[in-house]
Amino acid sequence: DWTTQSFIKESLETIKNKVGNKRVLCGLSGGVDSSVAAVLIHKAIGDQLHCVFVDTGLLRYREAEEVETVFRKHFKINLTVVDARERFLNRLKGVVDPEEKRKIIGEEFIRVFEEEAKKLGKFHFLAQGTLYPDVIESVSFKGPSATIKSHHNVGGLPDTFDFELLEPLRELFKDEVRQVGRELGIPDLIIERHPFPGPGLAVRILGEVTPERVELLQKADAIYIEELNTFKIYNAIWQAFAVLLPVRTVGVMGDQRTYDHVIALRAVTSSDGMTADWYRMPYEALAKISNRIINEVAGVNRVVYDISSKPPATIEWE
Ligand code: XMP
């Protein structure tokens, strides 16, 4: 529509004028915001943009491959994918405290990103997919939100990072960003994708993060998301994901007793993530998802559905 097109047209001009012939580095997360920012900037300045995507090993099933396909193959954007899976998993060994996990992941992320940026030469600008709500939240929430959960979306970069910021989406809300993304030809897979926390699956694996537990959760989560799409309810939900609980429960298979993992399913509706209501999931969808997870993911014998709203519960379990 007209507003989206005029936003894009004006942004391209602004970006071109601001950047001139300098180089721009962009940390791609695979999420909507950084994706739209990257494609918009690429459209304005082409190869002066270089994107870096860090595979932390804590991403959703096949997410790293999808990012490569879309950005490198389809959009022909300069992209470096850093395989840092071992680094993150090694640092998370034995760690169970959620804030400790966040701290480690945040630090390691900056380190990996910084190392990679150095290899790629000198950049003047750092592009970020900061939205209007991020700007507001980082200004007004100095207290509770910073201590309840240390989000590292805004202002998370150390002072040693000597870049000028390029934030072309600073004035937009999420739905406007999605419209801009669609207009730019970014596939629905990315545009419609639910938000994903920076620390990734580490905060959806309660207890210790091990390669086996990551794999188990990725499989369960992939089945969940696939079925939400099959039932055509994915887009009615703000965020849906599987959580791996740190307990085992008794089950029965044939005449054998099992003692296996529990998967909790979370699905919420929300307009900004600040408050949220649990999603009234149709029983048929729940039944199919539960059956498939228990039958297809070895080591899971129980699935539960989270019926808590925010507040007082948070969207994530950690
Ligand atoms: P909560 O769990 O606080 O989540 O209700 C609100 C929104 O924030 C996301 N979230 C995070 N995002 N780093 C992030 O980048 C984090 O540490 C983090 N913790 C929660 C969550 O997925 C939801 O969209």
Confidence grade of residue 158 (pLDDT, cut at 50, 70, 90): low
Q: Which residue has the tokens 């209501």?
A: 277
75-89, 152-166, 299-313: segment of lowest average pLDDT: 152-166
pLDDT value at 318 more than 50: yes
DSSP β-bridge partners for residue 265: 242, 305
Q: What is the pLDDT of residue 162?
A: 81
For ligand 1, atom 16, which residue shows the shortest CA distance?
Answer: 151
Q: What is the pLDDT of residue 134?
A: 82
Quick check: CB of 239 below 6 Å from ligand 1? yes
DSSP β-bridge partners for residue 164: 125
pLDDT value at 256 more than 80: yes
- CA 239 to ligand 1: nearest atom: 24
User: pLDDT tens for residues 181-231?
Assistant: 999 999 999 999 999 999 999 999 999 999 999 999 999 999 999 999 999
Instruction: Kindly state the percentage of the chain with pLDDT values over 70.
Output: 92
Confidence grade of residue 303 (pLDDT, cut at 50, 70, 90): very high
For residue 281, the CA-to-ligand 1 centroid distance in Å is 22
For ligand 1, atom 9, which residue shows the shortest CA distance?
Answer: 197
Quick check: CB of 200 below 6 Å from ligand 1? no
Give CA–CA dist 165/233, Å, rounded: 37
Q: What is the pLDDT of residue 138?
A: 65
Q: What is the pLDDT of residue 139?
A: 56
pLDDT value at 116 more than 70: yes
User: pLDDT tens for residues 34-88?
Assistant: 999 999 999 999 999 999 999 999 999 999 999 999 999 999 999 999 999 999 9
**298-309 average pLDDT score:** 98
For ligand 1, atom 12, which residue shows the shortest CA distance?
Answer: 197
**261: its two tokens:** 């993992």
Q: What is the pLDDT of residue 136?
A: 82
For residue 221, the CA-to-ligand 1 centroid distance in Å is 17
The per-residue pLDDT of the chain, averaged, comes to 92
Quick check: CB of 133 below 6 Å from ligand 1? no
pTM of the model: 0.89
One-letter-per-residue 3-state SS of the chain: CHHHHHHHHHHHHHHHHHHCCCCEEEEECCCHHHHHHHHHHHHHHHHHEEEEEEECCCCCCCHHHHHHHHHHHHCCCEEEEEECHHHHHHHCCCCCCHHHHHHHHHHHHHHHHHHHHHHCCCCCEEECCCCHHHHHHHHHCCCHHHHHCCCCCCCCCCCCCCCEEECCCCCCCHHHHHHHHHHCCCCHHHHCCCCCCCCHHHHCECCCCCHHHHHHHHHHHHHHHHHHHHCCCHHHCCEEEEEEEEEEEEEEECCEEEEEEEEEEEEEECCCCCCEEECCCCHHHHHHHHHHHHHHCCCEEEEEECCCCECCCCCCCC
pLDDT value at 28 more than 70: yes
For residue 164, the CA-to-ligand 1 centroid distance in Å is 26
pLDDT value at 144 more than 90: no
**111-129 average pLDDT score:** 95
For residue 310, the CA-to-ligand 1 centroid distance in Å is 12
Quick check: CB of 195 below 6 Å from ligand 1? yes
For ligand 1, atom 11, which residue shows the shortest CA distance?
Answer: 197
Instruction: Kindly state the percentage of the chain with pLDDT values over 90.
Output: 86
Instruction: Pick from 102, 110, 316, 318 the residue to mutate for probing ligand 1's pocket: most ligand atoms within 8 Å of its CB.
Output: 316
pLDDT value at 124 more than 70: yes
Quick check: CB of 31 below 6 Å from ligand 1? no
Q: Are 221 and 60 in contact (CB under 8 A)?
A: yes
ipTM above 0.90, yes or no: yes
User: pLDDT tens for residues 261-292?
Assistant: 999 999 999 988 999 999 999 999 999 999 99
Confidence grade of residue 307 (pLDDT, cut at 50, 70, 90): very high
Q: What is the pLDDT of residue 151?
A: 44
pLDDT value at 157 more than 70: no
**163-192 average pLDDT score:** 95
Instruction: Pick from 59, 131, 149 the residue to mutate for probing ligand 1's pocket: most ligand atoms within 8 Å of its CB.
Output: 149
